[in-house]
């Protein structure tokens, strides 16, 4: 009985460490009218669009069909 109690404590501590290091990000379920995307890493090359910043790489800009743009900042 004492051995099982001693095993539970380290497992709980380990679980707490793992849970604290994992961070989940919820992506919104909407798609903007993105014409093309540019990223700092690719210069001014027009890349295939992504629906929103959650799905696009960070430090990229989504260029919308109405002429506006949205910068996808890093977290």
pLDDT tens profile 3-35: 666 666 666 565 666 555 666 777 888 999 999
51 lies in a domain?
yes
Place of tokens 């989940």: 24
19 lies in a domain?
no
52 lies in a domain?
yes
pLDDT at residue 69 is higher than 60: yes
59 lies in a domain?
yes
The rounded percent of the chain whose pLDDT value lies above 70 is 65
- Please give the pLDDT value at position 74: 86
- Please give the pLDDT value at position 66: 98
Burial of 47 (0-12, 13-18, 19+ CB in 10 A): middle
- Please give the pLDDT value at position 4: 61
1 lies in a domain?
no
Contact status, residue 50 vs residue 37, Cβ threshold 8 Å: yes
16 lies in a domain?
no
Could you tell me the residue range of the domain that residue 39 belongs to? 34-72
Total domain count, the chain: 1
The rounded percent of the chain whose pLDDT value lies above 90 is 56
């Amino acid at each position: 009985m004492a051995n099982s109690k001693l095993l539970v404590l380290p497992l709980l501590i380990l679980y707490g460490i793992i849970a604290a290091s994992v961070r989940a990000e919820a992506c919104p379920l909407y798609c903007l009218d993105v014409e093309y995307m540019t990223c700092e890493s690719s210069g001014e090359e027009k890349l295939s669009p992504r629906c929103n910043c959650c799905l696009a790489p960070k430090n990229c800009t989504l260029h919308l069909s109405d002429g506006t743009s949205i910068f996808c900042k890093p977290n």
